[in-house]
Structure formats: structure tokens, C-alpha cells
Amino acid sequence: MAKDFHKEQHLKSSDFITDMVIGMSDGLTVPFALAAGLSGAVQSNGIIITAGIAEIVAGSIAMGLGGYLAGKTEQEHYESELNREYKEVEILPEKEKEEVKEIFEAYGLSLESQNRIADELAQDKDKWVDFMMKYELGLDKPNPNRARN
């Protein structure tokens, strides 16, 4: 009999869902509000339909551009902090080790464990910087597909 292994199935695309919900909200609300407002002021259905289509196109461009700029800004911020962390572990390694220890002290780990973890992380700069980005700064690497160059 084969063992049943627990398989984690979590949704990991929260940025996409957030963008989709906001986009749908804006994309549906504004054209309907525009059409409702114009229907009371204008007698021609053609003008109302044309204005609604123009708003949908303009709104789509604005949402797309806004999403692109937000993603690009997020990537630039992450890269800036990443470079800063690499410099800090290079120039101020003892201070950075203390910051690692402070993180684990908050979880109640012993000083011996804190020292062991900090020393272990310090042996691999990439892992060390990745740890500091996630747990000191609370930054995850942004999805590069959100803003392509």
C-alpha cells in the first residue's frame, strides 16, 4: 500500500488576483456610471455607446500602465535594497549577524542557537542576503512578469 503524502496546494498568485479584482471593479463601475450619467443628459444612444467604449479603452490603458509602473517600481525598490544588503554583509558583517540573532531572539531561541544560525548563514552570502531581505525587511523577490522592460 502506497503512503499518501500530504501535498500543499496554496494559491501563490495573490498579486494577480488583487490586480484582477481591482481591474474588474474599475473596469465595470466607471463605464456603467458614465453610461448612466450620460443617459440622463444625452438623447442619442450612439453618443452614450461611443463614450462608454472610449472610457473602457482609456481605462484599460490607464490600468495597464499603472500596473506596469507599480511592478517596475517594486522591482527597482527590491534591487536597491538587495544591493544595500550585499554591501552591509560585506562591510558590516558583525552588525548583520547581530540583526540575524535579534530575529531569532524574538522567537525565543537560545543565544547558542542564534550564534550557530548567524555563523551558518554568514558562510553563504546569497542565502544570508536572501534571509535578511525576507525576515529583516519583509521583502520577497517580485515577480518579473509584472513589469517587463
The answer to whether the CB of 114 falls within 8 A of the CB of 121 is: no
Whole-angstrom distance, CA of residue 147 vs CA of residue 13: 15
Q: What is the pLDDT of residue 42?
A: 84
Whole-angstrom distance, CA of residue 75 vs CA of residue 114: 31
**Could you tell me the sign of the dihedral formed by the alpha carbons of 44, 45, 46, 50, in that order?**
positive
pLDDT at 91 over 90: yes
Report field, pTM of the whole predicted structure over 0.85: no
In this prediction, residue 146 has a pLDDT band, given cuts at 50, 70 and 90, of low
8 φψ region: left (φ > 0), alpha (ψ -120 to 50), beta (else): beta
CA atoms within 13 A on the CB side of 93: 10
Q: What is the pLDDT of residue 117?
A: 92
